[in-house]
Amino acid sequence: MFKILDVAGSGLAAQQLRLNTVASNLANADTVSGDPAAVYRARHVKFQAVEGGVRVTGVVESQAEPLKRHEPGNPLADENGFVYAPRVDAVGEMVNMISASRSYQNNLEVMNTSKELLLRTLMMGQ
Amino acid sequence: MALDLDAYLSLHANALSIRARRAEVLANNLANADTPGFKARDIDFAAALKAATSAPASPPAAPNTNGTPPADPLAPFIKYRLPSQPSLDGNTVEVDSERAAFMDNAVRYQASLTFLNSRIKSLMQALTGE
């Protein structure tokens, strides 16, 4: 029974990391750069089922080409007047955030219920 | 009249441990609700309880000397769920039904616990004779 707390805890940690990447992607959605190689790339977590819960096996960076915009007035623009913006799918990230937060809540509920049951089991026979 | 303490308590004790294992399996489903390709599982409670109660009482398994954990006696009763609406990424966890199953399991766990407690209480009452 004590294993449930580990399982739910691994779920909480994984969803927390997913929320972190969503926050990072949204915060950097407008971080432009004059160099297409140095531009921020959207990050996504990779989940894997393991014995006793879920594990984050890595954070992958999006391979999508950055958006090229002509902004000669921008101090970050390159010599041709172009800036490069990361291709962050804001709507997709919001959906990701809602999904992660729901899953987080589910895991938390599992943890609370298990704690309650464990405490009652400890009182058995008293 | 001899009282077989083991038989007196074993039904609810067995039910309680199977419920605890089922809660673990369901918690695992919920933790992997967003893992691509994960297949949801559940325990066939009725079959597991039947096997546990019909099996002759055996002493608890001794820990293996080579350090590996003893085999899970409930492993044969853990089955894969049939999804009512499979998703594209191969995940078969249906969060709402898993949550409902987890809650149902928690309530039944408490029921078993209450039965066990009342049995212990009546035994204590008989012992003290008050």
| Number of structural domains chain A divides into | 1
Taking residues B37-62, what's their average pLDDT?
83
CB A62 within 8 A of CB A55: no
**Could you read off the pLDDT of A80-99 as tens digits, one per residue?**
999 999 999 999 999 999 99
**Of the listed ranges A61-75, A89-103, B34-48, B53-67, the one predicted with least confidence:** B53-67
In Å, how far is B101's CA from the nearest CA of chain A? 11
| A33 backbone dihedrals φ, ψ, rounded to 5° | -150, 155
The reported pLDDT for the residue numbered B75 is 87
Asked if A21 reaches chain B (Cβ–Cβ under 8 Å), the answer is no
Q: Which residues contact B65 (CB under 8 A, 6 or more apart)?
A: none
Answer yes or no: is pLDDT of A31 > 70: yes
**Chain A, nearest residue to B104 by Cα:** A113
Taking residues B43-49, what's their average pLDDT?
93
pTM: 0.86
Asked if A54 reaches chain B (Cβ–Cβ under 8 Å), the answer is yes
Cβ-Cβ pairs closer than 8 A, A with B, add up to 81
Residue range(s) defining the domain that contains residue A60: 2-124
Taking residues B78-85, what's their average pLDDT?
91
Answer yes or no: is pLDDT of B69 > 70: no
What ipTM goes with this model? 0.84
Angstrom distance (rounded) from CA B90 to CA B58: 41
Query: What would the two tokens of residue B88 be?
Result: 């594209």
Partners of residue A15 in chain B, C-beta under 8 Å: 34
**Could you read off the pLDDT of B84-118 as tens digits, one per residue?**
988 899 999 999 999 999 999 999 999 999 999 99
- Contact call for B34 and A114, based on CB within 8 A: no
- Contact call for A124 and B33, based on CB within 8 A: no
**Could you read off the pLDDT of A43-87 as tens digits, one per residue?**
999 999 998 899 999 999 999 889 999 999 989 988 999 999 999
CB A59 within 8 A of CB A21: yes
The reported pLDDT for the residue numbered B64 is 64
Partners of residue A47 in chain B, C-beta under 8 Å: 32, 34-36
The reported pLDDT for the residue numbered B95 is 93
Angstrom distance (rounded) from CA B130 to CA B124: 10
> Half-sphere exposure (CA, 13 Å, Cβ side) for B56?
0
Confidence at B56, pLDDT banded by 50, 70, 90: low
For chain A, counts of helices (H) and of strands (E):
2, 4
- Contact call for B34 and A47, based on CB within 8 A: yes
Q: What is the residue type of A82?
A: F
The reported pLDDT for the residue numbered B57 is 57
The reported pLDDT for the residue numbered A18 is 96
Partners of residue A2 in chain B, C-beta under 8 Å: none
Partners of residue A7 in chain B, C-beta under 8 Å: 24, 27-28, 31
